[in-house]
Amino acid sequence: MTAPTGSHASALISRRAVLSTSLVTGAVAFLPGAAAASGRLAPKRVARFAHMTDVHVQPEKAAGEGFAAALAHAQSLPDRPDFVIFGGDNVMNVDGAKGADRADVQLQTWRRAVQNELSVPSYICVGNHDVLRMHPTDGKAWAVDAFGTPDRFYAFERNGWKFVVLDSTSPRDGGYKGALDDPQFEWLAGELAATPATTPVLIVSHIPIISACAYFDGENEKSGDWRVPGAWMHLDARRLKDLFARHANVRLCLSGHIHLVDQVMYNGVTYCCNGAVSGGWWGGPYHECTNGYGVVDLYDDGSFRNEYVTFAWTPRE
């Protein structure tokens, strides 16, 4: 899961550009200074990572260079992330027949940027556009092999936190919906049951489990009622939130997919949709979202901070 170490493309971005980066707060789990004011010890940060989702790398539109610029940007921050979690839709579109015929060149573009520009460990979530020909078994097996993940869903521990990476793409009727299959849900329930209540849990899915921005991805109110497609947000969100309600240590759920930025807190769990590295698929901003990624700080008391960090990128043909 650890990305190979390569040369750092410092030429892609200057320190001044990093320092002038736009920071948009995505979620704050505690207020700085509040602990000191109350006489309590401030929580200790135990990890910082970049959540880079919806890269949609492709040979066109200089997307490989844009991805490399994002990697350089994150690693040039004054307070550099310890690792990266890629949130899915890593390549442009191997899920359809046309994109699948170009799967090799898309994957080569991805691997070249990672090998040359990334010098910290990484973990990868599989998105809907990463599933070859949207095949429920062979297509997902291709993604696991292509990105070198332990499986299509998996868990790991780091710095006192439990990370759970889900496969939220459920192929159906030639398309897909956001949902966990039954074996994966049972696995997740078992993982949470086996995790000590004192260990905070962070969940990564490509498709949002609960989201506000999904309402604005398309004219979802044009029928006269709000209708959010099942491919936009998890159809099994009710079952998942009921599961999380039995485990108070589930603190944060990160997602992408929508190419928009939001934060929703429901029943003690914070859900953050962290935009898109590609913005509008490397064609400029998508609605209110410009090219960027999440920077997440985790603390020893189970609190966290999530910020959406933008980087300068001029669209190219």
Q: What is the pLDDT of residue 294?
A: 98
pLDDT score recorded for residue 109: 98
Better pLDDT: 31 or 151 = 151
pLDDT at position 37? 53
pLDDT for the residue numbered 174? 85
Residues of the chain with pLDDT > 70, as a percent, come to 88
For 19, residues 6+ apart whose C-beta sits below 8 A from its C-beta are 78
DSSP 257-300: SSSSEEEEEETTEEEEEE--TTTTTTSS-BTTB-SEEEEEEEET
The DSSP secondary-structure symbol of 232 reads T
Task: Calculate the average pLDDT of the chain.
Answer: 90
141-179 residue pLDDT tens: 999 999 999 999 999 999 999 999 999 999 998 899 999
Residue 33 has pLDDT above 90, yes or no: no
Half-sphere exposure of 85 (CA within 13 A, CB side): 29
Q: Are 83 and 120 in contact (CB under 8 A)?
A: yes
Residue 38's pLDDT band, with cuts at 50, 70 and 90, is low
Judged against a pLDDT cut of 90, whether residue 273 lies above it is answered with yes
**pLDDT-derived band of residue 21, with 50, 70 and 90 as boundaries?**
very low
Q: How large a percentage of the chain has pLDDT more than 90? A: 86
Query: Rounded CA gap, 269 and 262, in Å?
Result: 14
User: What's the confidence (pLDDT) of residue 35?
Assistant: 54
How do strand 161-165 and strand 201-204 relate by DSSP bridges? Answer: parallel
Task: For residue 225, give every residue at least 6 positions away whose Cβ sits within 8 Å of its Cβ, in sequence order, or none.
Answer: none
User: How distant is the alpha carbon of residue 4 from its chain centre?
Assistant: 20
pLDDT (0 to 100) of residue 24? 41
Is the overall model pTM greater than 0.75, yes or no? yes
**pLDDT surpasses 90 at 5:** no
What local confidence, expressed as pLDDT, does residue 39 receive?
Answer: 62
Confidence of residue 317 (pLDDT cuts 50, 70, 90): confident
What does the pLDDT look like over 274-292, one tens digit per residue?
A: 999 999 999 999 999 999 9
